[in-house]
Amino acid sequence: MTYHHGDLRRTLLAQTASAIAEDGVARLSMRALAKRAGVSNAAPTYHFGDKAGLLTALAAEGFDLLADAMTGAAEEQGLVARGVAYVEFALRCPSHFTVMFQPRLLHDDDPELTAARQRAWAALSVGVAEVRSVPDGDFGVASWSLVHGYATLVLSGAVETDDALQQARSVAAHLVSGTDGQAGTGQA
């Protein structure tokens, strides 16, 4: 087999995301991935080392895409916009989203993964800082939990909605009501 498509690493990551979307992460194999991409069985191993290396690269790419999405939401300003961007990313890139939060599948000490995670957390933290007068790690975790949980519920089918992003905006609005630790007084 000869590969003629250009950026093999990028192609392998895209094929990995497609394979996960079709069959789930548990059924992913390096051999099947090579076949999907039309390359030798050794090509994925050459680029990623092993399955964990492949999934680590996909997760790092996902965290970078997530950071970009939330940073792009800064044009709209606010934590709510960043929360909606988080959900939108999860719905647009469900394979990445699935792998990103399964550290047992990854080389958790990978420097690219660590940097990408930090970049995504920083993008969310900027939104948190916009609504909190003092640094508040618990509020940051609560914000992350809310949008992550909502995205997970939609992806799993536990929450069905005609417009997930509109509902995400309403759900995320709870992050800014009563931001001084008091109960919110308005409706979402």
**pLDDT at residue 132 tops 80:** no
Counted domains in the chain: 2
Is the predicted pLDDT of residue 16 greater than 50, yes or no? yes
Higher pLDDT, 74 or 8: 8
Q: With bands split at pLDDT 50, 70 and 90, how would you rate the model's confidence at 93?
A: very high
- Percent over 70 (pLDDT), the chain: 88
Is 180 inside a domain boundary? Answer: no
- Same domain as 94, residue 159: yes
Asked if residue 136 and residue 86 are part of one domain, the reply reads yes
High-pLDDT (> 90) share of the chain, %? 66
Per the domain annotation, does 136 fall within a domain? yes
Contact between 172 and 146 (Cβ < 8 Å): yes
Give per-residue pLDDT as tens, 59-86.
999 999 999 999 988 666 688 999 999 9
Are 102 and 164 found together in one domain? yes
Would you say residue 60 lies in a domain?
Answer: yes
For the CA atoms of 68, 103, 128, 167, the dihedral, rounded to the nearest 10 degrees, stands at 80
With beta carbons less than 8 A apart as the criterion, state whether 75 and 123 touch.
no
Q: Do 43 and 61 belong to one domain?
A: no
* Residue 74 and residue 42 in one domain: no
Q: pTM here?
A: 0.87
How far is the C-alpha of 121 from the C-alpha of 66, rounded, in Å?
9
Asked whether residue 29 falls in the same domain as residue 95, the answer is no
Q: Average pLDDT of 50-62?
A: 97
User: Looking at the structure, do residues 111 and 55 belong to the same domain, yes or no?
Assistant: yes
What is the model's pLDDT at position 1? 44
Looking at the structure, tell me whether residues 158 and 108 fall in a common domain. Answer: yes
Q: What is the pLDDT of residues 148-183, one digit of tens each?
A: 999 999 999 999 999 999 999 998 888 777 544 443
Domain of residue 105: give its range: 51-175
Q: Is residue 187 part of a domain?
A: no
Is residue 184 a part of any domain in this protein?
A: no
Alpha carbon separation from 97 to 137, 154, 175, 187 (Å, rounded): 23, 12, 22, 30
Q: Band of the pLDDT at 7, cuts 50, 70, 90?
A: confident
Instruction: Looking at the structure, tell me whether residues 7 and 88 fall in a common domain.
Output: no
Q: Note the pLDDT of residue 129.
A: 81
pLDDT score, position 154: 97
